Chain A
Amino acid sequence: MPAQIDHAEAASIVYDALVVGSGVSGAIVARSLAERGLRVLVVEAGPGEELSVADYETYLTRFYGAAAKDNNAAYEVNPNAPMPRSPDVRRLQPGHPDSTGYLIQNGPYEMDSTYTRVLGGTTMHWEGKALRMLPEDFQMRSRFGQGRDWPIGYDDLEPYYRKAEFELGVSADVADQTFYGITFPPDYEFPMHGLPKSYLDQLVARDLDGTEIRLEDTTCTLSVRPTAQARNGVPNPAYDGGKGYVPVGAVSTHQVDEGGRCQGNINCVPLCPVQAKYNARKTLAASLQTGRVDILTQTIASRVHVGEDGQISHIDYQAYGSTTSPEHVTGSLRARMYVLAANPVENARLMLASGLPGSNGLVGRNLMDHAYLLTWALMPEIAGTMRGSQCTSGIEDLRAGEFRRRHAAMRVSIHNDGWAWPTGSPYTDLIALVDDANAYGAAVRRGLVDRISRQLMLSFMVELMPEPSNRITVDGRYIDALGNLRPVLSYSLPEYTMDGVAAARRVSRRIFQRLGAEDRTSYDPLDTGYVGHQGEGYIIRGGNHWAGTHIMGESSHDSVVDVHQRSWDHPNLYLVGPGSMPSIGTSNTTLTLAAMSFMTAEHIATELTTRPTVTIGG
């Protein structure tokens, strides 16, 4: 068990901090506070019976046996704490919300992003890209007249990025990651050396490096760069002034020899089979070593209560014994500080379900994600597709520049896993060969090589600005098995983003032309995610990079949390995670939210340890 404590005992303790959610944000806050001598309770809505390899292996076996291998395929269906699943997404009819999946889709755009409700949260299925945001991403309003500025800048967050790179175990080389304003302190080294470029990356780089692309008035010179990844590589002996770095292996309360270097299992999402990829269980396991952290799984924070002084007084929980039965017990948990780290959708959902939309009504609003445009082609030669981690390199050169006044920036990933995401390859290729091409025997073998080993897929991750109308709400008509209100999503893609999508498609054509690759991209108007824009149609996929439902700002009038991710309305409440981000730029959100979690934990610890405790009416 993660902690030798039961609900009755936990309910009898006033913790220093109660953390809702065991994903990367909650785990970092819990570990940081505990290491400063504070007592922390973590509650996780999903299952996670043991913090052990055996528990992890059940996920892997479930994944192997799943006919549909979507990004939550490794995790059991749990009506008590459900999660969005991409196969549940339906094409929406205007004016008709779809409640097929856990997430109610109000439209107009149907979104297939997911998250994972198990111990360790969505880091169990995340891919592991660990990108810093660009300095200019923090100044979108003042630099480009778009979106919002952060109340802090890159330089404020930089020391915490380093902490996050240590905690997540990032493999990268400083020379490869120094671009477009990103700076490191002199002599900085990443914990581990960068992962080698795939053979496919090398073929792309051979012809593409140095190609110039114009976006508005900005000339972008493309190069294929290795991607910083929270995945174990070769430790860098120069790390931390020559002290080196010891990679964190598989999580277990017992000794186990797993979790070394990435083996190239090409399965970062939904599950790294050997735990070479970081997941928040690694941080949770370390937090337990302090002896000051308790973890309760299968425990849903169901309602946040506010006292007359505006402070949070307690949080109600529901604890269920089995994922197959709605039977549960209830109670209340108390702490000096409350930290909601459940992810942007669940944080907003819990606040709204507790009748706490915020004094300015902004809880749940300004929801963001990256809009993904997938483009795919066949390389002129065998490229060895389907090997490595899912992505080893990308193109960073379309992320920065004055063009951001006019349309969204974009980042390109080169996918080692081929067309799996857009077409369902290699399964669809096999079916087409056997059922349609009438191939059997050696012809199937040759056909598979010809169709799969030459695949190139470029994903364009396009930026989205915060819009108040993109939001999570709740609605009494929609409840889960335990009676909790389900999240309702209203989502549209603004012109700024769609102009970026159109530019991305043009760029992809140029890249394929330069490579002599056969462009096989096509978007079916009947498919989910189809969006028309200025006479062209695109399929936009969700990036699973939920952000912005409790946006951070300098004033209580136009934001939900302050720079410390502390609620403006409730001084002992922190809403932690990507929900606080005022912009997401073109970086996957995890490294930034991890850095923010360290910053916030430092603040909470200071508040708890330097402020005298005032006893009222004593």
Chain B
Amino acid sequence: MIIGKNLSYSYSQTQMLQFPNLKVDAGQTLLISGDSGCGKTTLLHLLAGLRTPYKGEVLIDNEQLSEMSSAKLDQFRGEQIGVIFQQSFFIPSINVFDNLNLSPFGKKNRKIDEVTEKLGISELLNYYPNQLSQGQQQRCSIARALINNPKVVLADEPTSALDDKNCSMVAELLINAAKNQNAALIIVSHDYRLKKKIDQKIILKPIDTI
């Protein structure tokens, strides 16, 4: 379960983003949408502990991110939060298997075979990232986010670069995989194609300026 309570973020002294409270239980999904520039990605980064909120708190299974040391937060993110980006980022010099296995914590609880089989990418493990199509890359990104069996999966515009066919397939894979693993899934997107598949929805307002 992930909770975002009274979250706000300040880019500068004149710009303050204030976000609605949110709560996603294990196995549930939330879609955050809104116009470009309204702070969707910033909210996602706050939830992932990649940015520090101006005010408010993020709790994952009752553990507050802001109370963690920098080292503990890095470890917590690596083990308990899976993140998927709009662009599929990979280390180009290593193959898909090594990219999925990328972790400073060894191979504890990692389910590469199971996850890659479910996502239909078992045969791609020896390929290098530049040998994959966009759809394949995005499926590999999903696999990387799920391989640790995380409590929370955060996805930033995971389908915006995909055509309708790939969008539907990737969204379904992501949602089903997260549900199967009993992970809370938050998707940030303005992609209308996702709306029907998600449990909760939040629409962010434009930036509040002070």
- A and B physically associate: no
Q: Chain B residues in contact with chain A, CB under 8 A?
A: none
